């Protein structure tokens, strides 16, 4: 067993003796999730090679691997996003997409004509072009992780256009879909090994708390179950 | 175009439409319900475990209105161009059989009697000058005593769980001491309080407030309603708000009314039937039926009827009236017309408390209607004199079941990171050890807040979208801030290690990107004066007497309580008067 990092030791220390300790420990979930993440690479259906490198790097910065367990890559969030692109959601079919498309104050909501799959296509190309121009020709995926985080922070509140996509909108799209991938049922390709749910202590599809309505503040004792019956 | 005939047409198969359809078939009429969405049944939509899916459910909006076909446009002020509400966020209208009544939460209130005559009461207590310039404060023209039997009936149909305070004037339980008197007990005992709610209950009582368990249309035990349909006990599954209840425990038109209606040969349900307009006769005084688009064949169909019920949800009701030319559209500049006037919403802000790390709040356990509330700062239950605003808010812990995608996207709150380094630590603490307290309050009506037809944008069928002109106003912002300040002592008393108070800010604009509530109201309000109301006290159109408009569109103000208990009571009230008076002598029931 490798030595836990200081933060992790500290964190686990705080939980020792509590009912949920096992949820955090070197539980099989981690190993399984990481194994799946590292197993035969998923072949993206929508994203091209460059986009896929960007997506993997960006998801991992948003939800990094750390002392708590696997990050977005290990959990399959990029795969989740790739698969979502070929759904009604990815194609923008759940949204009102008739024109005219005009710019409006941010509080009145999304007003671009681009569905999610186009936000990514144009946004990622724009983002990589922006990064190459500011980081001596390297693309986002080739930056050091600290540099990647700094670029995402710039995007998070940035108005600069990445293709037709304002940087903050690309960031928002990335953050939302990454977290969806981490925390949705594994049915959709993410949350591998249920490790996203395990981190939070969310029991998944159990959906029956008849005997646990009020635990007087004790932690719920059971681990998660997925729709397909997978447990962790 | 094909033409058919029925006695009564009901537009929309949600709560209001299902109640009217049931009552009118009981009265012997042939009733056709036109619903633009799919047919829905709990056996399919609520199938376990496939329905226990947050992504498909609340995140991708499986049961909600399909905006690609029709939406609204929104602007904050009259000098702006409105833009489409392209993605669901701030409010989540329903579509398909059951309407929003299939995916609602189930908090099931009556009404604060003072709210029914708010204008009269405010003037009596504080004088006319207390009402700010531009606020259209109005009375409903109906009293609590008149509505009480219909609240009672609705609770029995919904299988509502609750603890009474007084029954027939005598204290009968430990329920909300501000609640109005009841003629009977709730059909089921109150739901259990989840841990967070018990923490709130104790702390609120200790600081001198009057906490009570929320009345919930989630069944606390097995129940058979007056229509003979059955509900099972709620197991606090937490997939409540935004979902079809797989346990048959949350009241819905689909579980509580339609199984009985579907057996009645006088009842016809046509789904995928998008009503384009109510057809009027040549002088515009009588409806002859409706024209709808059969979404399966793309054919227009004319259906003739003697009676038309518009029950398509609050803003769809107003939209249909405007598209049909029923009544005079409201003009905020000239201050004339009534259709679209007094469009209201609700204020809602969320505060969060973090408990010590040995206390787990298990946020995923919960039921949509369950929780603990205080009414000390709702309606006219406190002295507004020195405060200088109208309205109020119940305050509550209403743990409806927090699921991880929504929690993760919402973030850990406070100043914690919303992604990257430090995010997981903060999320774990928030998800495991925090609880939220909402101030869920009133919203008054204003002259420049209204609904009309958008001049630019069209729906998939070529009709003008409805336009909302809406923002927060000083009166309501100050009300919210005042009530939220009263949450702070509760936070301290419950031993929060830290807390974050959420409130509206001065000049804050309505933000369409964040879910608030689906408790929109007004736009076709009830009242005594046809100059300031679209429908009379029986929800009958002042202008077209064989059209009744049922829903929260009738509320002159947005109230602190959730609307559906009131919508259902008004539906039964209107139905009763249609059955006992109108059908015997069709025509205006109140002389203008
Ligand atoms: C997430 C959520 C939680 C909620 N929680 C609560 C709560 O706890 N307590 C509470 O009191 N309220 C709650 N509500 C509000 C509640 O759902 C509504 O007040 C209630 O459903 C209104 O009933 P209705 O019959 O007016 O409209 P609906 O139930 O929405 O029914 C209207 C129907 O009309 C159909 N329709 C619309 N236009 C047309 C047309 N042109 N042609 C044909 N059909 C049409 C729609 O498709 C829909 O099915 C909640 C709402 C949401 C979204
Ligand atoms: S919490 Fe209860 S009422 Fe709500 S969906 Fe689950 S079982 Fe049904």
A6-31: average pLDDT: 37
For residue A43, give every residue at least 6 positions away whose Cβ sits within 8 Å of its Cβ, in sequence order, or none. Answer: none
Give CA A73 to chain center in angstroms.
8
| Ramachandran angles phi, psi of A195, nearest 5° | -70, -25
3-state SS string over B173-197? CCCCCCCCCECCCCCECCCCCCHHH
Cα B186 to Cα B309: distance, rounded to the nearest angstrom: 29
A205:B403 CB<8 A:
no
Q: Which residues of B531-567 are buried (b: 16+ CB within 10 A; e: fewer)?
A: ebbbbbbbbbbbbbbbbbbbbbbbbbbbbbbbbbbbb
Using a 6 Å CB cutoff, which residues line ligand 2?
A: B 218, 234-240, 243, 245, 247, 249-250, 367-368
* Contact flag B431-A202 (C-beta cutoff 8 Å): yes
pLDDT at A32: 52
Residue with tokens 């829905």: B40
Least Cα separation, residue A44 to chain B (angstroms): 21
CATH classification (class only), B2-71+78-582? alpha beta
Average pLDDT over residues B233-244: 97
Atom of ligand 2 nearest to the CA of B238: 1
- Residues of chain A neighbouring B66 (CB-CB closer than 8 A): 94
Domain ranges of chain B: 2-71+78-582
Task: Write out the two tokens for A180.
Answer: 């969806």
* Predicted pLDDT at A14: 32
* pLDDT of B220 higher than 80: yes
Residue A2 has pLDDT above 70, yes or no: no
Residue B45 pLDDT exceeds 90: no
Taking the whole predicted model, whether its pTM rises above 0.90 is answered as yes
Report ipTM (2 d.p.).
0.96
Q: How confident is the model at residue A38, as a pLDDT? A: 53
pLDDT in tens, B166-190: 999 999 999 999 999 999 999 999 9
Task: Tell me the pLDDT tens digit for each residue of A66-119.
Answer: 999 999 999 999 999 999 999 999 999 999 999 999 999 999 999 999 999 999
Residue A184 Cα to ligand 2 midpoint, Å, equals: 20
Contact at 8 Å (CB) between A62 and A190?
Answer: no
Place of tokens 């024209």: B291
pLDDT of residue B490: 98
- Pairing of β B31-34 and β B267-270: parallel
Q: Among A58, A151, A175, A207, pick the best mutation site for testing chain B contact (most B Cβ within 10 A).
A: A207
- Residue A99: CB atoms within 10 A of its CB come to 9
Question: Is the pLDDT assigned to residue A13 strictly greater than 60?
Answer: no
What mean pLDDT is predicted for residues B522-544?
98
**CA–centroid distance, residue B65 to ligand 1 (Å):** 10
d(CA A123, nearest CA chain B) in Å: 19
The residue contributing the CA closest to ligand 2 atom 2 is: B234
Please, what is the end-to-end C-alpha distance for chain B in angstroms? 36
Calpha distance B150→B389 (Å, rounded): 31
Q: What mean pLDDT is predicted for residues A145-162?
A: 96
User: Rounded to whole angstroms, what are the CA distances from B427 to A224, B36, B423?
Assistant: 17, 40, 6
pLDDT in tens, B333-357: 999 999 999 999 999 999 999 999 9
Mutual angle of helices A49-62 and A77-84, in 10-degree steps: 130
Residues of A in contact with B510 (CB under 8 A): 107
The answer, yes or no, to whether residue B525 has pLDDT greater than 60, is yes
Q: Which residue of B has its CA nearest to A14?
A: B357
Give the confidence band of B592 by pLDDT, cuts at 50, 70, 90.
confident
Using an 8 Å CB-CB cutoff, list chain A residues near B513: 106-107, 109-110
Nearest Cα residue to B249 out of B270, B230, B228, B232: B232
pLDDT of residue A23: 37
Contacts of B355 in chain A (CB under 8 A): 217
Ligand in nearest proximity to the CA of B71: 1
Question: Each residue of B554-582: pLDDT tens digit?
Answer: 999 999 999 999 999 999 999 999 999 99
In this structure, which residue's CA is closest to atom 49 in ligand 1?
A: B99
Closest CA to B163 of B230, B120, B126, B212: B212
Distance CA B364, CA B400 (A): 8
Question: Which residues fall within 8 angstroms of residue A169, CB to CB, at 6 or more apart?
Answer: A110, A112, A119, A123
Question: For all residues of chain B together, what is the average pLDDT?
Answer: 97
Residue A21 in this model has a pLDDT that exceeds 50 = no
* Ligand 1 touching residue B275 (CB < 6 A): yes
Nearest to B167, CA basis, from B178, B181, B151, B149: B181
Preferred mutation among A183, A204, A218 to probe B, highest tally of B CBs within 10 A: A183
Active-site amino acid positions of B: 519
pLDDT score at B363: 98
Q: What is the average pLDDT score of chain A?
A: 87
Give the C-alpha separation, B206 to B436, whole Å.
Answer: 19
d(CA A29, CA A195): 6
Q: How far apart are CA B334 and CA B328, in angstroms?
A: 12
Q: Which whole number is the average pLDDT over B67-75?
A: 98
Residue B548 has pLDDT above 50, yes or no: yes
Residues 6+ apart with CB under 8 A from B536: B141, B526, B527, B528, B530, B542, B588, B589, B590
Q: What would the pLDDT profile of B359-414 be if each residue is shown by its tens digit?
A: 999 999 999 999 999 999 999 999 999 999 999 999 999 999 999 999 999 999 98
pLDDT at A18: 34
Residue B137: pLDDT band with limits 50, 70, 90: very high
């Amino acid at each position: 067993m490798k030595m836990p990092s200081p933060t992790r030791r500290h964190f686990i220390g705080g939980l020792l003796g509590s009912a949920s300790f096992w949820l955090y420990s070197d539980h099989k979930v981690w190993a399984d999730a990481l194994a799946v993440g590292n197993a035969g690479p998923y072949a993206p259906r929508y994203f091209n090679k460059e986009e896929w490198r960007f997506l993997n790097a960006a998801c991992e910065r948003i939800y990094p691997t750390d002392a708590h367990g696997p990050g977005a890559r290990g959990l399959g969030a990029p795969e989740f996003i790739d698969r979502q692109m070929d759904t009604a959601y990815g194609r923008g079919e759940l949204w009102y997409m008739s024109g005219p498309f005009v710019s409006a104050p941010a509080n009145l909501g999304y007003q671009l004509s681009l569905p999610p799959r186009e936000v990514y296509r144009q946004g990622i190309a724009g983002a990589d072009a922006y990064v190459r121009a500011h980081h001596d020709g390297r693309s986002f995926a080739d930056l050091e992780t600290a540099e990647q985080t700094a670029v995402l922070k710039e995007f998070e509140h940035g108005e600069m256009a990445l293709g037709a996509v304002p940087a903050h909108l690309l960031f928002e799209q990335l953050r939302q879909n990454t977290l969806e991938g981490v925390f949705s049922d594994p049915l959709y390709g993410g949350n591998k090994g249920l490790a996203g749910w395990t981190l939070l202590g969310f029991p998944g599809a159990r959906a029956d708390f008849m005997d646990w309505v009020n635990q007087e503040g004790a932690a719920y004792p059971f681990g998660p179950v997925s729709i397909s019956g997978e447990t962790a | 175009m094909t033409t058919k005939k029925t006695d009564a047409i009901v537009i929309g198969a949600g709560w209001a439409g299902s109640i009217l359809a049931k009552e009118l078939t009981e009265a012997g009429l042939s009733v056709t319900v036109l619903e633009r969405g799919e047919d829905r049944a709990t056996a399919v939509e609520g199938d376990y475990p496939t329905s226990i899916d947050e992504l498909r459910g609340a995140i991708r909006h499986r049961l909600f209105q399909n905006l690609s076909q029709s939406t609204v446009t929104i602007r904050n002020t009259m000098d702006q161009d409105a833009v489409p509400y392209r993605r669901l966020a701030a409010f989540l209208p329903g579509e398909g059989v059951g309407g929003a009544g299939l995916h609602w939460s189930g908090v099931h209130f009556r009404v604060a009697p003072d709210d029914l005559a708010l204008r009269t009461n405010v003037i009596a207590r504080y004088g006319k000058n207390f009402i700010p310039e531009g606020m259209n404060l109005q009375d409903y023209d109906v009293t609590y005593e008149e509505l009480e039997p219909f609240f009672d009936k609705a609770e029995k149909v919904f299988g509502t769980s609750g603890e009474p305070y007084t029954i027939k004037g005598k204290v009968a339980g430990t329920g909300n001491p501000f609640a109005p008197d009841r003629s009977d007990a709730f059909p089921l005992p109150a739901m259990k309080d989840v841990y967070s709610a018990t923490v709130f209950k104790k702390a609120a009582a200790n600081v001198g407030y009057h906490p009570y368990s929320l009345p919930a249309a989630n069944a606390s035990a097995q129940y058979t309603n007056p229509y003979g349909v059955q509900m099972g006990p709620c197991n606090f599954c937490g997939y409540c708000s935004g979902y079809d209840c797989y346990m048959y425990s949350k009241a819905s038109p689909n579980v509580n009314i339609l199984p009985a209606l579907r057996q009645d040969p006088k009842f016809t349900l046509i789904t995928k039937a998008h009503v384009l307009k109510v057809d009027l006769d040549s002088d515009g005084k009588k409806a002859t039926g409706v024209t709808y688009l059969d979404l399966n064949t793309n054919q227009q169909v004319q259906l003739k009827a003697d009676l038309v019920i518009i029950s398509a949800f609050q803003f769809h009701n107003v939209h249909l009236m405007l598209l049909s030319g029923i009544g005079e559209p409201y003009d905020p500049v000239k201050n004339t017309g009534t259709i679209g006037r007094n469009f209201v919403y609700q204020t809602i802000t969320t505060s969060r408390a973090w408990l010590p790390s040995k206390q787990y709040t298990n946020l995923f356990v919960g039921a949509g209607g369950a929780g603990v509330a205080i009414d000390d700062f709702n309606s006219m239950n406190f002295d507004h004199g020195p405060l200088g605003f109208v309205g109020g808010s119940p305050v509550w812990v209403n743990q409806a079941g927090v699921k991880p995608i929504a929690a993760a996207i919402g973030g850990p709150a406070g100043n914690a990171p919303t992604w990257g380094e430090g995010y997981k630590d903060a999320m774990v603490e928030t998800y495991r050890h925090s609880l939220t307290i909402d101030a869920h309050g009133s919203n008054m009506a204003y002259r420049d807040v209204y609904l009309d037809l958008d001049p630019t944008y069209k729906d998939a069928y070529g009709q003008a979208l409805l336009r909302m002109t809406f923002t927060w106003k000083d009166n309501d912002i100050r009300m919210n801030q005042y009530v939220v300040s009263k949450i702070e002592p509760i936070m301290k008393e419950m031993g929060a290690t830290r807390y974050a108070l959420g409130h509206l800010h001065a000049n804050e604009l309505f933000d369409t990107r964040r879910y608030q509530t689906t408790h929109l109201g007004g736009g076709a309000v009830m009242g005594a004066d046809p100059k300031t109301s679209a429908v009379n006290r029986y929800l009958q159109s002042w202008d077209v007497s064989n059209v009744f408009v049922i829903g929260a569109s009738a509320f002159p103000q947005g109230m602190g309580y959730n609307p559906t208990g009131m919508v259902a009571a008004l539906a039964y009230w209107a139905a009763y008067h249609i059955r006992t008076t109108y059908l015997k002598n069709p025509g205006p029931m109140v002389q203008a």
